[in-house]
């Protein structure tokens, strides 16, 4: 499996409203941390996740988290 592009070596802190979102797993999206379809033609697919209550979320920017779409601190070891 190919490695994703590291979009940034820190999380994206986003205030999200309740709803369904698609996190970019390939790192190529121009709309980070969300998918814009740039994964087409690769082995990557976006990670769908749901937000039940408005809040601030730390979404992974390095694309190497073990708990997508959320940051787990992996960027500190890259």
Residue-wise pLDDT tens digits, 26-58: 999 999 999 999 999 999 999 999 999 999 999
pLDDT digits 0-9 by tens, 9-32: 999 999 999 999 999 999 999 999
Two structure tokens written together for 41 = 């033609």
Q: Is the pLDDT of residue 7 over 90?
A: yes
Q: Number of folded domains in the chain?
A: 1
Cα R_g (the chain), whole angstroms: 12
Residue 1 lies in a domain: no
Q: Rounded to whole angstroms, how far apart are CA atoms 27 and 47?
A: 12
- Whole-model pTM: value is 0.94
Interatomic CA distance for residues 34 and 53, integer angstroms: 18
pLDDT of residue 6: 98
Asked if residue 3 belongs to a domain, the reply is: no
Q: Output the average pLDDT for the chain.
A: 97
6 lies in some domain: no
Residue 72 lies in a domain: yes
Mean pLDDT of 53-72: 98
> Does 44 reside within a domain?
yes
**Domain enclosing residue 71, as ranges:** 12-77
Tell me what percent of the chain is helix, strand and coil, each rounded to the nearest 5.
5, 30, 65
């Amino acid at each position: 499996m190919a490695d994703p592009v590291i979009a940034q070596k820190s999380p994206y802190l986003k205030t999200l409203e309740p709803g369904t979102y698609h996190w970019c797993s390939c790192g190529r999206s121009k709309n980070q941390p969300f998918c814009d379809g740039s994964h087409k033609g690769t082995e990557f697919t976006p990670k769908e996740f749901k937000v039940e209550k408005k809040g601030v979320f730390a979404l992974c920017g390095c694309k190497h988290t073990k708990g997508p779409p959320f940051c787990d601190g992996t960027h500190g070891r890259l």
